[in-house]
Amino acid sequence: MGTHPFVRETTIKDFFIKMEKAKVKFFEDIEVSDEVKDFIRRLLEKDPQKKLGFGEEGFKEVLGHDWFVGLDYETFWERKVDIYCNFP
């Protein structure tokens, strides 16, 4: 396990300054689909006008993202979805 990206911060102010300016980075040795990367980047967008889910459609915009293509929402909301993790 690694450490969180703010180990060297000494104050809360430093933490928030870094959060404001930091860019989302993904580990190169971990395979992540382009859809997942886009989903995460858009959720973490700093500009509220561009942030996923903050537009007029709200949560529908989140569910309409490419990462959710093929998701059976009824099964998901009823908690009947089999969830698995495939760790290397």
Give the tens place of pLDDT for each residue, 15-74: 778 778 888 888 888 888 999 999 999 999 988 899 999 989 998 999 899 988 888 878
Count of structural domains within the chain: 1
Classify residue 14: in a domain, yes or no: no
If one counts every other C-beta atom within 10 angstroms of the C-beta of residue 81, the result is 11
What pLDDT is attached to residue 86?
66
Classify residue 41: in a domain, yes or no: yes
What pLDDT is attached to residue 62?
92
Q: Collect all residues with Cβ–Cβ distance below 8 Å to 46 and sequence separation of at least 6.
A: 20
- Alpha-helix runs per DSSP H in 1-88: 12-21, 34-43, 59-63, 73-77
Contact 15, 6 (CB under 8 A): yes
Contact 15, 9 (CB under 8 A): yes
Range of the domain at 51: 31-88
Which one has a higher pLDDT value, 31 or 80?
A: 31
Classify residue 20: in a domain, yes or no: no
If one counts every other C-beta atom within 10 angstroms of the C-beta of residue 15, the result is 12
pLDDT band at 5; cut points 50, 70, 90: low
